[in-house]
Amino acid sequence: MRIEIWMDVVCPWAYIGKRRVERALATLGEPAEVVWRPYRIDPTAPVPAEPLADALCDPAADEALRVCAPDLSPAENRLPVDRIAAKEGLGPPWGAAWRASSHDAHRLIALAEQAGVQDAVVEALLRAHFIDAVDIGDREVLARVVGDVFPEASELLTADAGEERVRELLLEGKARGIRTSPTIVAGDRALAGAQPPEVIAEFLTGSFAHVAERRPLPAEVERYRWAESLLEQRDPLGALALLRPLLAGHGDDRSVRMLAARAWYASAQLGRALAALEELVAQHPDDAYARVLLGRTLQRLGRHEEAEPHMRVGGALVPAYAS
């Protein structure tokens, strides 16, 4: 069984959630592969980091806290976390000292998966931030924190390794509807928040049965659906980023080309949209949607006379498009 945990290493509930997942798995006695995925609760955190005490005076900090525990008010979120952490065997001491960017930490976590030391790296980073209260936004500190379990970290950080992988995973998480840290995903089911171990265990038990019955989708189909989801969320550039491998490997697929054309149109890359749509209409003249989108693209380019016949044909094929 594969379990994904989407979380931010600067979210205290992620550390609490990690302990609760471990307890839940211990009670189930089921073999499981835990994979850690990135989520950013504070994507505007500065580099270099700033003292967290100063940052918490900013009203914008309340929104970051709300993302961690949406059921608690900011005041409630700040008060009980140390006591809850203590019940999970975390601290004392407890508490972050820095408002630090977690981007480089997530790079290390992504790279550590390939090296087979991901869980150890996640544990080291969470402990460094919440127990040792060091600045995990600093690359030298990061390399030192994980050096015992991931000695290649310093070289990889300097080389900017893992940048593309983390950005793609963040887009995937957005496409899949990840909205809080932590979120546990098993198959196509998700459990948001650092829930009690018994709740997690019940969720995983149900997920084990569901995954056993579910036929997994090909990776290309999942990627296509994620790109489509991003486009529906009005993130055409994100959709195009996820479509890039599909365009390279399946560029002749009609659905892939149409989704890319829609994303180019939505992101005002009208030249690319025009070229793709002209080719699609030439190959599939009865595709009403392609006709209409080609017409709209031409209209936005100021070529209204060329657009008119495509709009007319599209409306004739599908009357709803004529309105």
Q: What is the pTM of this model?
A: 0.88
Q: Provide φ and ψ at 16, rounded to 5°.
A: -60, -45
Contact 36, 7 (CB under 8 A): yes
- What percent of the chain shows pLDDT beyond 90? 77
- Domains along the sequence of the chain with CATH: 2-213 (3.40.30.10), 219-322 (1.25.40.10)
Q: Sorting pLDDT into bands at 50, 70 and 90, what band is 213?
A: low
CA distance 207 to 203: 6
Coil vs helix vs strand at 72:
coil
Report which DSSP code applies to 218.
P
- Please state whether the peptide bond connecting residue 59 to the residue before it is cis, i.e. omega within 30 degrees of 0: no
Q: Sorting pLDDT into bands at 50, 70 and 90, what band is 304?
A: very high
Q: Sorting pLDDT into bands at 50, 70 and 90, what band is 217?
A: confident
Report pLDDT digits (tens) over 258-275: 999 999 999 999 999 999
